[in-house]
A and B are shown apart, each in its own frame.
Chain A
């Protein structure tokens, strides 16, 4: 049972490049989300989705794009990478407040923008 799988685990980009961080889940959860983790700031919500075809912005959405065409996948796109986007990115599923359920996290993608 894979749970939540993120790829790649590590990535180095040059300023201005674009890329997609992949997130796939096999838990059949409707709710998926992306967070970034920065030292001293905890995790901040970038975008989230309550089901296929539905996405919404979180606290820090600028510079990122998402789509949700299937229940299983929720890719995060960096349109034009900037050094300020150097961070560790986590995808999570579940955690839907109406059910007070647990959120399940992937192992993270460490992104460095030079």
Chain B
């Protein structure tokens, strides 16, 4: 079946540190990959996406590259800010399987000044 595995949190970083949150997936078919972010007390919102192998999604300084050979979609940011503190979810959906989103367990990020 389809599944997503993320690194466990919480992750605590100092402001301006480099961020990596690992995400690997298992999928039948050809998945699209997503990162969603959830700020405290809010719903999820799309951060970035990639729809085919070697695509790089980017937004707000965050990047992730769709690596088919390693079945990974790791999230990176060169210099985090306090305002990046949130929970980050990796997710996939597969065409021809109803378009359902399959989520990882989420990784909480806390950035200290």
Chain A contacts to B: CB under 8 angstroms: 4, 31, 33, 35, 40-45, 48, 50, 56, 58, 90, 92, 95-100, 102-108
B105 and A31 form a contact (CB under 8 A): no
- Is B89 close to A, CB under 8 A? yes
Q: Are A97 and B93 in contact (CB under 8 A)?
A: yes
Asked if B46 CB lies within 8 Å of chain A CBs, one says yes
Tell me the bound Cα distance from A4 to B44 in angstroms.
Answer: 12
| A71 to B14 Cα, complex, angstroms | 45
Asked if A42 contacts B104 (CB within 8 A), the reply is: yes
Query: Quick one: which of B83-113 are within 8 Å of A by CB?
Result: 89, 93-106
Q: Which residue of A lies closest to B104 (CB)?
A: A42
Number of interface residues of B (CB under 8 A): 26
B58 in the interface (beta carbon within 8 A): no
**Are the CB atoms of A48 and B104 closer together than 8 Å?**
no
Give the interface centre of B94, B95, B101, B102 by most chain A CB atoms within 10 Å.
B101
Does chain A have a CB within 8 A of B81? no
Q: A42-B106, A97-B93, A100-B93 are in contact. Are A106 and B43 (CB under 8 A)?
A: yes
Q: Which of A31, A43, A96, A106 is in CB contact (< 8 Å) with B103?
A: A43
Contacts of A104 in B (CB 8 A): 45
Q: Are B46 and A45 in contact (CB under 8 A)?
A: no
Q: Within B18-57, which residues are at the interface with A (CB < 8 Å)?
A: 32, 36, 41-46, 49, 51
Q: Which residue of A lies closest to B50 (CB)?
A: A100
Q: How far apart are the CA atoms of A102 and B36 in the complex, in Å? A: 10
List A contacts of B32 (CB < 8 A): 97, 100
In whole angstroms, how far apart are the Cα atoms of A56 and B104 in the complex?
22
A60 to B45, CA, bound (A): 22
Cβ B94 vs Cβ A42 within 8 A: no
Q: Which residues of B contact A103 (CB under 8 A)?
A: 36, 44, 46, 101
Ordered nearest first, which 10 A-B pairs have the shortest CB separation?
A97-B99, A105-B43, A42-B103, A97-B93, A96-B99, A42-B105, A43-B103, A105-B44, A102-B46, A100-B32
Minimal beta-carbon separation of B37 from chain A (angstroms): 11
Cα separation A48 to B43 with both chains bound (whole Å):
18
